[in-house]
Amino acid sequence: MSATTHLGITLVEQSQSQKEVTVNAALTRIDALLNTGAISRTTATPPGSPASGDLYIVGASATGAWVGQAGMITYFDQIWKFMTPRAGVTLWVNDESLIYTYNGSSWIAASTSKINAQTGTTYTVAASDLDKIVECSNAAAITVTLPKSLPVGFNFSVVQTGAGQVTITPASGANRRNFDGFTKTAGQYAVLNFYVSTNAGGAAAVYIMQGMGV
């Protein structure tokens, strides 16, 4: 049977019996996607007791009924059904309180405030830091961790605004690369810039780092 181009909704055929089945499935698909948000984009295991219409962006290394569906949109309608996202589709992600847009290969968080002020001595870069400046102002030494999960093209900056030098540490599965081999900011007001160049399977991010470091 033929289907719509973007949402993959099955179309009613001429002289088709039980047309209501096809129409109701289409309405359920539209209802799941519109006027709602994805519950999460990092969940990899299907919930045990989903409600009808529950919608997720499938996380990396998916299991069970979601195996092989990482990055897909899924919703529950008696069983888990899937939609292939197209570039430009945008969803609110409830557990992060962020808007994500699919760019054709990855889900990218929309930027809000450009400055993320950090006053502690440890911080792990998050999806919400896309295109942001992470300001580190503690007087003591600071460790900023690079997670393995951020997508290709993800970019951000780290600025040492306090006396404490900022050491950049890749999490297990991630990689940090730069021309001079430095690992930390050079001193107060030093700036380091980052972008993710590759990320095999969504769990092996490689960060290119450049700026004022030692």
Q: What is the pLDDT of residues 55-79, one digit of tens each?
A: 999 999 999 999 999 999 999 999 9
Q: Which domains does the chain have, with CATH numbers?
A: 19-107 (no CATH), 113-211 (2.60.120)
Alpha carbons 93 and 109: distance in angstroms, whole number: 9
> How many C-beta atoms lie closer than 10 Å to residue 71's C-beta?
18
Which helix (H) or strand (E) segment is 124 a member of? strand 122-124
Tokens 């990055």 — which residue? Answer: 71
Q: How confident is the model at residue 91 (pLDDT cuts 50, 70, 90)?
A: very high
pTM above 0.75, yes or no: no
Contact yes or no for 105/199 (Cβ under 8 A): no
- Give residue-wise pLDDT tens across range 101-147: 999 989 988 766 789 999 999 999 999 899 999 999 999 999 999 99
Sign of CA dihedral 205, 209, 213, 214: positive
Instruction: Give me the percent of the chain exceeding a pLDDT of 70.
Output: 94
Alpha-carbon gap, residue 113 to 111, rounded angstroms = 7
The answer to whether 196 and 207 are in contact (CB under 8 A) is yes
CB-neighbour burial class of residue 27 (10 A; exposed 0-12, middle 13-18, buried 19+): exposed
> Which is more confidently placed, 9 or 58?
58
User: Does the pLDDT value for residue 1 go beyond 70?
Assistant: no
